[in-house]
Amino acid sequence: MPFHKLADGPITMVIGKVGAAEGKFGPQMVFTSTSGTDVFISELSGAKGLARLNLTPESAIGETLTFEQIRKDGKTFTNINKGGVVGAVSAPATRTTSTASSGLSFEDAVALYGRCVESALDQLAKRCELSEIPVDASAVQAAAATLFIATKGR
């Protein structure tokens, strides 16, 4: 089976199976897509990521999940998020200074930002409601802006 290294960039896939394996650095979770691609992540990162999404290995089957590595303060973290475009494998992020340099027209930028606001409302509002944390417009705007900045150069 093919596998995807998260160091090469994020991947979004529909989960067909979640299993376990022993890796060089300890226990691993193996997420297998419905098309047969495997993603290996540490058991601890996988369990935390699924719990944050209110999922278990069993309930993750059939879900569309995005896996990515984030480097912060010299450490590497694995993020798991719901949604995305199935089969998308992104190149490493590039920084752009304007919509013109990223190749986006104004209309495309507005449409992308609209999608970011919808996703922020969907994800943030649900999570805050489950956690009984009040959500306001500034929190939605901040989440949408984060998504927009992260995706507009791709």
Looking at the fold, whether 24 and 57 belong to one and the same domain comes out as yes
Residue 93 lies in a domain: no
Compute the C-alpha angle 137/124/115, nearest 5°.
Answer: 80
Q: Which of 48, 82, 116 is the last residue of a domain?
A: 82
pLDDT per residue over 13-58, tens digit each? 999 999 999 988 889 999 999 999 999 999 999 999 999 999 999 9
Domain of 118?
99-151
Higher local confidence (pLDDT), 46 or 84: 46
Number of domains the chain contains:
2
Residue 91 lies in a domain: no
| Residue percentage of the chain with pLDDT more than 70 | 84
Residue 106 lies in a domain: yes
**How distant is the alpha carbon of residue 144 from its chain centre?**
14
pLDDT per residue over 99-111, tens digit each? 344 566 777 777 7
Looking at the fold, whether 43 and 104 belong to one and the same domain comes out as no
Q: Which of 30, 50, 82 is the last residue of a domain?
A: 82
**How distant is the alpha carbon of residue 37 from its chain centre?**
17
- Eight-state DSSP code of residue 89: B
